[in-house]
Structure 1
Amino acid sequence: MSTITEPTPASVASGPGPEDGVLKPSTDKGYTMEQQGVSNLTFGGGEYKLLRPKFADKMEERKHTLEHMAGAFRIFGRRGYGEGQAGHISVRDPVDPHTFWINPLGLHFSQICASDMVHVDSEGNLLSDGNQAAINAAGFKIHSELHKARPDVNAACHTHSTYGKAWAAFGKELDMLNQDSCIFYKNHSVYDDFGGIVFEAEEGKRLAAALGSNKAVILQNHGLLTVGETIDEAGYLFTLLEKTCEVQLQVEMATRMGLEKKLIPDDVAYYTYYNTADPETLYAEFQVDYNLELKLTKGEFLQ
C-alpha cells in the first residue's frame, strides 16, 4: 500500500496552480509535476498545430476572438445547450478591455455568426462597431459583474444545459471520479443562493463572489458557468463540465443499485489538474471541436 501525501493547505484553500510549487512524489509511482503547457500532451517530434496564437495587432486578435466566440456558440448549439432565449457568452474586447462582446437576444446558438455579436460597455450601452441588437438583461448583469470582479477573465459561458441543470439541483461540488473531472479539482465552486432570474446587479455581484478565483461555478437550481483567459478555454471547460455532470449523475444512480464509487486521491487529482488544466492546454482542447465545426458549417459562422 502506498502512502498518500495531501497537497499543501495553501493549494487546497485557494485552488491549485503553478505558484504552489512542486508536488513531491507521494505514491510508489513516483510521479512529480513538470512544466505546465500543451507540450505535455505532444510526443514524437511531429508538427503540432493547435497552439494558442500570439497577436501583435489587437484588431486581428479581436477578429480571431469573435470568430472563435461564434464557433463556441455553434458547438453549444450542436450539443443541444440551447433553451429558448436563455444562455450567453461574453468576451472581453482585446482593443478596449473595459468593454465586452455578447450574443444578441433571440438568436439560436446554431445560427450565430461573428458579425452578430453585440459590443457593450460596462453600463450596457451598445457601441457602434457591434451589432445593434437587444441583449439578454440577465446575461448583462452576470457578465458585467464577472468582468469587473475578475480582470484575469476574458471570457465567460453560461447556458441552461440539461445535465448542468440536473446536477445543479443538488447544490454540490463534483466528485473527482475520473481524469476529466480532475480538471475542476479545487477549481470550481457552488453558488447556493439562487435568487431567481438575474435582473438585479446585486445578484450578479453575489454570483461573481461565489465564483471567486475558480474557473467554474455550479449555480444551484440554475445551471453552469465557466470562465477562462480565452473563449476557447471557457468554451471547452463548459462542454467538459456539462459532460462531467452527466457522468456524475450516472454514477449517483449506480450507487443506488449498490455499487461503490471510488474517488481519486487528492495528490493524484492535483497532479492531473496541474498537467491538464492550464490555459494553453485548454485552448488546444477546444480546437478539436472548433475545427470540426468549421468543416461541418463550411466556415459559415466566420461571417
Structure 2
Amino acid sequence: MAMNTMQLGKTEIVQSALDDMETHLRTQQLPIREAVAQTCRILFAFGHDSGLSGQITARAEREGTYWTQRLGLGFDEIKPDNLLLVDEDLNVLEGGGMPNPANRFHSWLYRTRPDIRCIVHSHAPHVSALAMLEVPLAVSHMDTCVLYDQCAFLKKWPGIPVGNEEGEIISAALGDKKAVLLAHHGLVVTGATVEEACVLGVMFERAARLQLLAMAAGEIQPIQPELGEEAQRWTSTARRHEATFAYYARRADRILHPF
C-alpha cells in the first residue's frame, strides 16, 4: 500500500527508509574467504595497492585465528584459495607461504577489541600524503560521514609495525574508534564485518583526497556535530555496507576484467 509521506517529519521518514533498506537491499553473503579476497581486489581497483605493503585480515571460525594474504602477492592477485589461515603468533595453520610480518599489530587489535571482525590496512596515496604532513583526517563532506567521529590519529610514527610494541601503540591509538590514521604510514580501518571494513577503507582514501583538494583551495569548514553524527548513523547500517560492497565488487571486476 502506498504511503502518504509529504506530511511526515524527518525522523519518521528516515526510519521508514531504514526499514525499507532492510527489506529491499538484499545481497548475496559471501563466505569469509571469498569476501576477504574480494576486498583485496576492490582495494586494488580503488588504488590502494603499494607493492607488497598492506594487509587485509578477517577472523576465522577458530578462536584466535584469522585469514590473511600471502606475502609476495599483490592485492590484485588474491584469491580465496591462496589465503593463509594464521594464529595470533603468525604461525601458518592452513595454506602455503608466509604472512606479512606486519600482521602482528592485527593480532593486537583482535585481542583488544572483540567486536572487530575484519581489519584493512593500506598505504593508499592520498591517505599517505596526509600521513606525511602529520595531518589528521578531516571528515567534512556528506559522502565521507561514515567516518565521522570514527577516525583516531597516531602522530608519532613508531616505525615498522612488526614488533609487539607497535601492536600495543596502534591498538591504544585506535581506542574505541573504527579507524586510525598512522602518521608517516597509512590507514587502518576495522569493521564488524568484512563488508564494513572494505567500505570504510575505500571511503577513507576518498576522504583524504577530498581533504587535500579542499586544503589546496582554502580552509576546511567543519560539519555541525549533530548533523555529522546523524549522517554517520544513516550511512553505517549493515544493509548499506553490504549493498555498497556488492557495487564495489562489480566495479572492481569491470576494472580488472574489462573484456
Quote the Cα distance in structure 2 between the aligned partners of 1:37 and 1:175: 30
Cα offset for 1:291?
A: 3.0
| Other structure's SS at 2:92 match | coil
Quote the Cα distance in structure 1 between the aligned partners of 2:21 and 2:239: 13
Change (3 A) 1:293 1:220: same
- Aligned match of 2:25 in 45, 48, 54? 48
Does the 8 Å CA contact 1:68/1:290 hold for their aligned counterparts? no
Cα offset for 1:41?
A: 7.0
Does the 8 Å CA contact 1:37/1:275 hold for their aligned counterparts? no
Structure 1 unaligned regions, length at least 5: 1-29, 54-62, 299-303
Quote the Cα distance in structure 1 between the aligned partners of 2:215 and 2:149: 20
1:152-192 CA-partner distances (Å, limit 9, x unpaired)? 00100011110010112233333332112221111110012
Quote the Cα distance in structure 2 between the aligned partners of 1:87 and 1:166: 16
Change (3 A) 1:197 1:159: same
Letter in 1 for 2:99: I
Cα offset for 1:32?
A: 4.0
Does the 8 Å CA contact 2:40/2:76 hold for their aligned counterparts? yes
Please give the TM-score of this superposition, normalised by the length of structure 2.
Answer: 0.87
- Aligned match of 1:199 in 136, 144, 162? 162
1:194-243 CA-partner distances (Å, limit 9, x unpaired)? 12111211111110111111111000111111000111110110010001
Letter in 1 for 2:140: L
Identity of counterpart residues, as a percentage?
28
Quote the Cα distance in structure 2 between the aligned partners of 1:216 and 1:183: 11
Quote the Cα distance in structure 2 between the aligned partners of 1:240 and 1:192: 21
Cα offset for 1:65?
A: 0.9
- Is the counterpart of residue 278 in structure 1 residue 242 in structure 2? no
Letter in 2 for 1:49: R
Letter in 1 for 2:32: T
Cα offset for 1:118?
A: 0.6
Cα offset for 1:126?
A: 0.9
- Is the counterpart of residue 159 in structure 1 residue 138 in structure 2? no
Cα offset for 1:290?
A: 1.4
Please give the TM-score of this superposition, normalised by the length of structure 1.
Answer: 0.75
Does the 8 Å CA contact 1:85/1:106 hold for their aligned counterparts? yes
Cα offset for 1:40?
A: 5.7
- Is the counterpart of residue 77 in structure 1 residue 54 in structure 2? no
Quote the Cα distance in structure 1 between the aligned partners of 2:215 and 2:128: 15
Partner of residue 6, structure 2:
none
Does the 8 Å CA contact 1:154/1:228 hold for their aligned counterparts? yes
Does the 8 Å CA contact 2:179/2:189 hold for their aligned counterparts? yes
Cα offset for 1:37?
A: 10
- Is the counterpart of residue 120 in structure 1 residue 86 in structure 2? yes
Partner of residue 39, structure 1:
18
| Other structure's SS at 1:86 match | coil
* Greater helix fraction, Structure 1 or Structure 2: 2
- Is the counterpart of residue 132 in structure 1 residue 96 in structure 2? yes
Count of aligned positions: 249
Cα offset for 1:148?
A: 0.6
Cα offset for 1:75?
A: 1.2
Letter in 2 for 1:171: E
1:24-51 CA-partner distances (Å, limit 9, x unpaired)? xxxxxx75488889836749x8x43337
1:124-147 CA-partner distances (Å, limit 9, x unpaired)? 2111xx212111111x21111111
Structure 2 unaligned regions, length at least 5: 1-8
CA RMSD of aligned residues (A): 2.5
1:92-133 CA-partner distances (Å, limit 9, x unpaired)? 00x213211111001011111001111011222111xx2121
Quote the Cα distance in structure 2 between the aligned partners of 1:135 and 1:235: 20
Partner of residue 33, structure 2:
66
